[in-house]
Amino acid sequence: MCNGRICTKLGMSRVFTENGEAVAVTYLQVEPNHVIRTKSKNKDGYDAVVLGINPKMWRTRKGNEHTKYSQIKEWKVDSLEGLEPGKELNHVGFEKDAKVRLTGVSKGKGFQGVIKRYNFSRGPETHGSHHHRKPGSIGMCEFPGRVMKGKKMPGRMGNDTITLKKRTIMEIDEEKGVIAVRGPVPGPNGCRIFVTLSSDTPVA
């Protein structure tokens, strides 16, 4: 059984609990996940399944047909029973109030300074100050005479792989195959999110 799915982020909204509390949620579209191939302990050293979404057929110059997927992802499984190549997996198995682990890529911010990147305080703006948005001193004088590793300096911000653990599924739309997960999810609308069930109950 495979307890993971490839989803698409739709956007954010809010839902109301039974107590009347407004909770921010992110809606995820559970795409039809196709089993591309399986890995076994005898051949690969571990049991796993490779899933893909949005298959498209294309033909080479020699006339050979191939299937190309917009996104693929591998999940380790305890058993390969019922996971034959070509089988389609959907949202069945995800339940309300279940805990899931979400993995996605955050929005890229480009090359940023220390104020935006690390929330540094800025310098004076008047009285002849030339220190407005500079990082300031980055090291010592003669000893050790170098910049220490890990020093917070300007650089690339965002576009990082982020994993959120133990997020709660607040709602499930069985007809549309959409789940509502509590809280924000990294990445822009339309990005791919890998959802893995955290509970002991596997997804069928």
- What distance in Å separates the CA atoms of residue 138 and residue 40, rounded to the nearest whole number? 52
Instruction: Write out the CATH class of domain 1-57+67-107+159-204.
Output: mainly beta
Q: Where are the domains of the chain?
A: 1-57+67-107+159-204, 111-134+150-156
Q: Which helix H or strand E contains 55, and what residues bound it?
A: none
3-state secondary structure of 159: coil
Query: Average pLDDT, whole number, for the chain?
Result: 91
Handedness of CA 184, 190, 194, 196 (dihedral sign): positive
pLDDT digits (tens, 9 = 90+) for 102-127: 999 999 999 999 999 999 999 999 99
Average pLDDT over residues 167-194: 94
Is pLDDT of 98 > 70? Answer: yes
The candidate with the shortest Cα–Cα distance to 71, out of 7, 21, 22, is 7
pLDDT digits (tens, 9 = 90+) for 45-55: 999 999 999 99
pLDDT for position 172: 93
- What distance in Å separates the CA atoms of residue 56 and residue 133, rounded to the nearest whole number? 49
Burial class from Cβ neighbours inside 10 Å (0-12, 13-18, 19+) for residue 137 reads exposed
pLDDT digits (tens, 9 = 90+) for 19-59: 999 999 999 999 899 999 999 999 999 999 999 999 998 88
Which strands sit side by side in the sheet containing 71-76, from one edge to the other?
A: 71-76, 48-53, 33-39, 88-89
Select the more confidently predicted residue: 199 or 9: 9
Task: List b or e across 187-199, with b for residues whose CB sees 16 or more CB atoms inside 10 angstroms.
Answer: beeebbbbbbbee
pLDDT for position 202: 46
pLDDT digits (tens, 9 = 90+) for 130-159: 899 999 999 888 888 899 999 999 999 999
pLDDT for position 166: 93
